Amino acid sequence: MTIRATPGDPTVWRRHPHAPPPGSALGRADAIPDGQGREFRFGPDHDPFRMFVVRRGADCFGYLNVCPHFSLPLNYRPDQFTTRDGEILCSMHFAVFRFDDGVCIDGACPGRALDPVPVDVTPDGTLRIAEIPAPPLPAR
Ligand code: FES
- Ligand 1 atom closest to Cα of 107? 3
The pLDDT tens digits of the residues spanning 37-89 come to 999 999 999 999 999 999 999 999 999 999 999 999 999 999 999 999 899 99
Helix or strand or coil: residue 78?
coil
What residue ranges do the domains of the chain occupy?
A: 12-16+25-129
Q: How many CB atoms are located within 10 Å of the residue 134 CB?
A: 6
For the CA atoms of 106, 118, 124, 44, the dihedral, rounded to the nearest 10 degrees, stands at -100
Q: pLDDT category, 133, cuts 50, 70, 90?
A: low
- Ligand 1 atom closest to Cα of 72? 1
Q: Is 114 in the pocket of ligand 1 (CB under 6 A)?
A: no
Is residue 137 over pLDDT 80? no
Among protein residues, the one whose CA lies closest to atom 1 of ligand 1: 70
CATH code for the structural domain at 12-16+25-129 = 2.102.10.10
